[in-house]
Amino acid sequence: MIQQEQSPRPLIQMQAINKYFPVGKEKLQVLKSLDLTINEGEFIMIMGKSGSGKTTLMNIIGFLDRVSDGTYLFKGEDVSKLSENKKSEFRNEYLGFIFQQFFLINSLNVSQNVQLPCVYAGKKNNDEKRRIAEKYLELVGLGTKTKAKVNELSGGQQQRVAIARSLVNDPLLIMADEPTGALDSETGTEIMELLTELNRQGKTIVMVTHDADMKKYATRVIHMKDGRFLEEEVIR
Ligand SMILES: Nc1ncnc2c1ncn2[C@@H]1O[C@H](COP(=O)(O)OP(=O)(O)O)[C@@H](O)[C@H]1O
Ligand SMILES: [Mg+2]
């Protein structure tokens, strides 16, 4: 039997994106005519030195900031035409976020931290929220830590909690800005192996890093400098 290759489904389509920030009376151009398509199933790594515009681009992809010009389509929808409410809905439904500094809430236990996106998405049933949190905590290897305080955990464990939190709404896209930046290299490797496994299971991931050792985990690496894309490497 002939296996038909499924054609790639674009999740993100950006064309001729510019981004300016006002600085005094001037405007600083931080993103310069970027074109970017991300298909479902990819593990994209955006690599570049500090100041190259990576976080600005991630904020735009995550609907936290808007382009100055150019078009950004998410699942075919023109993001510039979405209301703020709709963008929040999209963010809750389709995106999971992981950050360098974890951003966990110390006054909540591990399970409660993981449940937060369910709370924002308006899920009310407490048993269901707990069950979903436990499922993802088990997936990241923290099934025994559901009731622990987050500040009793190691950095690597805290990042796993953050990864579980990013997964609870079963997002289409995981966005990770320097997720290993605050971890030692061994713990960073464990986190990268976990993200790679999630990608193998079908999650689309876009990750920012300035660490060239991370390239091997990606399917595609895009090099960025001074707000521009330089070359692109296809890894697998
Ligand atoms: N809100 C802002 N206002 C003015 N300049 C900004 C703002 N955010 C970022 N910048 C500038 O944009 C450039 C790119 O920043 P950023 O996207 O954070 O880069 P990276 O994440 O690659 O380190 C930097 O020169 C930074 O100072
Ligand atoms: Mg940054």
Sign of torsion, CA 218 221 224 228? negative
pLDDT at 191: 96
Q: Angle at which helices 110-120 and 126-139 pack, to 10 degrees?
A: 120
Q: Taking the CB of residue 141, how many other CB atoms lie within 10 A of it?
A: 15
Question: How many angstroms is it from 70 CA to the middle of ligand 1?
Answer: 19
**DSSP secondary structure of 95-145:** EEEEETT----TTSBHHHHHHHHHHHTT---HHHHHHHHHHHHHHTT-TT-
pLDDT at 187: 95
Query: Do 54 and 30 contact (CB within 8 A), yes or no?
Result: no
- CA 20, CA 16: separation in Å to the nearest integer? 13
Q: Which CATH architecture has domain 10-104+156-234?
A: 3-Layer(aba) Sandwich (3.40)
Domain spans of the chain? 10-104+156-234
Ligand 1, atom 6, lies closest to the CA of: 21
**How confident is the prediction along the chain (236 residues), in pLDDT tens digits per residue?**
566 667 889 999 999 999 999 999 999 999 999 999 999 999 999 999 999 999 999 999 999 999 999 999 999 999 999 999 999 999 999 999 999 999 999 999 999 999 999 988 888 899 999 999 999 999 999 999 999 999 999 999 999 999 999 999 999 999 999 999 999 999 999 999 999 999 999 999 999 999 999 999 999 999 999 999 999 999 98
Q: Taking the CB of residue 142, how many other CB atoms lie within 10 A of it?
A: 22
As a whole number of Å, the end-to-end CA separation of the chain is 25
- Ligand 1 is surrounded, with C-beta below 6 A, by 21, 23, 28, 30, 48, 50-56
Tokens of 111: 């399970």
pLDDT at 119: 85
Query: Which ligand sits closest to the CA of 48?
Result: 1
Question: How many angstroms is it from 22 CA to the middle of ligand 1?
Answer: 11
pLDDT at 125: 92
Question: How many angstroms is it from 78 CA to the middle of ligand 2?
Answer: 25
Of all atoms in ligand 1, which is nearest to the CA of residue 48? 22
Question: How many angstroms is it from 156 CA to the middle of ligand 1?
Answer: 27
Query: Do 135 and 213 contact (CB within 8 A), yes or no?
Result: no
